[in-house]
Amino acid sequence: MSQSETACGNLLEQHGITNVKSVQRNLCTPALYEEIIRRGEGSLSHQGPIVVSNSNYTGRSPNDRFIVKAGQSGEDIWWGDVNRPFDPDKFDALYNRMMAFLQERDLFVQDCFAGADKDYRLPVRVVSTRAWNSLFARNMLIKATDAELENFVPGFTVVAAPDFKTVPEIDGTRSEAAIIINFERKLILIATAAYSGEIKKGVFSVLNYLLPKQGVLPMHCSANVGANGDTAIFFGLSGTGKTTLSADPNRRLIGDDEHGWTDKGVFNFEGGCYAKVINLSPEAEPEIFKCTRSFGTILENVGMDATTRYVDLDDASITENTRAAYPISHIPNIVPEAQAGNPKNIIMLTADAFGVMPPISKLTPEQAMYHFISGYTAKLAGTEKGVTEPQTTFSACFGAPFMPLHPSEYGNLLKDKIREHNVSCWLVNTGWSGGPYGIGSRMKIRYTRAMLNAALEGKLDKVDFEQDPIFGLHIPQSCPDVPAEVLNPRNTWEDKAAYDAKATELAKAFHANFAKFADGVTEEIRNAGPLAK
C-alpha cells in the first residue's frame, strides 16, 4: 500500500474499515475510467462516455430503504410507509458484517461536498467497492479543492457495496438489498442495490433532515436563471421533466434535481446532473444529448453495439430508466457558482396519466401550498423497481421518498418564502393529453417549452384566464405558439362525458390523499384543492 493509500486507509479506520486490499482516494476521471475498464465494470463507448449496467436494480428500491430509529432523529422522523424504522442494534450488527466483507477488497473513496453554499454544505465521504460508483459520486457531488482535502472531515459517510447481500432473517431487512440511514452515527449503508441513484438520494435525504433545522428549505427541484436575473425553480418527481425543461439554452442552469432555498436565494446541492435519457432527442434536448456523447459521462443501462461501441438511446431492453450522470460543467450555459437569488417563479410539474390536468395553469398561493403538499404525478416506467407503466401517485412535497420530516415542515417553509418574495406559481402537466395513458398522447415538449417561456417571460400576465370547474385551476385562454384547444384538456377529448368522469375520479383521489394532511394546514389551504368531491 502506497503512502497516500496508507493515509487514506488510516482515515477509513475511523469508520471501522480495516485490512482492505487497496484504497484509491479521489482518483480523477481518467484514472477511474482506467479502473472501470480494467476491472470489467464497464466499457468505453463511441465519443467517450463510459457505459455500465446493473440489470438487477435499474431503479430505486424504496421498499428496502430504512432509517435507524435512535436518539433525536428517532423523535423527529415522520415514521410510516416511506420512512421505515430500523433497529439500532440490528444496524450495528449489519454494519460489522459489511465491514468484514470489505476486508481484502479494493476500495474507492471520494471526498466531496453536498451544497454549493459554504454556509450550509455537508462534507460527504463515499466509500465504494466499484470504481464506477466512485466516478458517479465524483460527477454528482461537488469536488473538494486540494486545500479542502488536506483537513477533510466527513459530516456523513456513504458505504456502497453492491456485491454485499443482506440476510433478512439475520439482518432485519426486507430483501437482500438495503439502503439504511443512521443519523446518529452519520452513516448510510447501501447493500446489493447497484442503482447509483441510491447514493445521491441517500445524501439528499440527509440534507432534507438537517437543513430545515437551520431555516433552509430543501427542494426536489431543478433551477435556472434568466438574463435579467430571474430565478425559476421546477418541482417534480423523476420523469416529469425537471432536467429537460431546466436545460434551456436561453437560461443559465443552476442545477437539475436538488436545491436549498435560504434567505439569500437558491443553491444547488450537487455538482452534476442525472438525466433520464430513454428516447432522448437531439432536436428537443440538444444540451443533454450532447452530454451522452461526452467524455466523463456515465451511461447507466443504455444500450450499446458491442462492435461499433455506438450507443442507442432508444434501446429500453434493460430498462426504461436509462440514465446519464455527468458533471454540470458539461452543460455550456450554467451558473458556475451554482447559486442565484430568490425565485420569481415556481413551476410544479406533474405527469398526469389520466390526461385531465391542464398543460399549464396559474396557482393562487393557497393552491400552490395544496399542490406542493399533494405532489401529484404518475410514477413512470423504470424509475422504481417493478414499475412498468405509469401509476397515479401522490408524493408529498414532490419528493416524499426522500423527506424524513412531516410534509408540513417543508410546506410551512415554502409558504413563508412564497409570501415573503411574492413568487408566481404555476402547475404544468407534462403528461397525457386527449385521453388517459394508452389512449391519449404525451404532451408535445415544444408546447410545454412555449408555455413555460410565456410564463417566465411574463407573457401570460395579461391574458384572460378561465377557472376549471372541477380542479379550480386558472387556465390561460391563449398562449404564444400553442394551439388554443390544447390549453383546456377537455377540448382535446373526443368523449367529453368520459373526460368529466375521469377528471371527477382524479379530483376524488386528491381529496382522499389530502385528508391525511388536513389537520396540519389551514382551512384556506384545505379548500384550495379540486372543487368536485
Of 121, 323, 330, 449, catalytic: 323
Which residue is catalytic, options 64, 171, 257, 352? 257
Map residue 459 onto helix, strand or coil.
coil
- Residue whose C-alpha cell is 496508507: 6
CA contacts within 13 A on the Cβ side of 367: 20
d(Cα 65, Cα 202) in Å, to the nearest integer?
9
* Catalytic residue status for 200: no
Catalytic residue among 130, 220, 252, 406, which? 220
Give CA–CA dist 452/473, Å, rounded: 17
* Residue 60 annotated among the catalytic residues of the structure: yes
The yes-or-no answer on residue 511 being catalytic is: no
Instruction: Report which residue type is found at 316.
Output: A
Q: CA-CA distance, 477 to 475, in Å (whole number)? A: 6
From the list 243, 322, 350, 383, the catalytic residue is 243
Convert 342-354 to b/e letters by CB count within 10 Å (16 or more is b).
bbbbbbbbbbbbb
The residue annotated as part of the active site, out of 15, 25, 60, 415, is 60
Task: State yes or no: is 238 an active-site residue.
Answer: yes
Cα 179 to Cα 162: distance, rounded to the nearest angstrom? 11
138 in active site: no
Buried b (16+ CB within 10 A) or exposed e, 363-399: bebbbbbbbbbbbbbbbbbbbbbebeebebbbbbbbb
The reply to whether 21 belongs to the active site is no
Continuous segment of H or E residues that includes residue 509:
helix 496-514
Catalytic residue among 15, 25, 130, 201: 201
In the residue annotation, 243 being an active-site residue is answered as: yes
Q: What is the DSSP string of 33-77?
A: HHHHHHTTSEEEPTTS-EEE--TT--SB-GGGEEEE--HHHHHHS
Q: Does 442 qualify as catalytic in the annotation?
A: no
Label the pairing between strands 106-114 and 142-143: antiparallel
Active-site hit among 65, 242, 344, 371: 242
Half-sphere exposure of 126 (CA within 13 A, CB side): 33
Report residue 502: phi and psi, to 5°: -70, -40
Catalytic residue (choose from 129, 238, 262, 319): 238
* C-alpha cell, 255: 442545477
Which residues are designated catalytic? Answer: 60, 201, 220, 238, 242-243, 257, 323
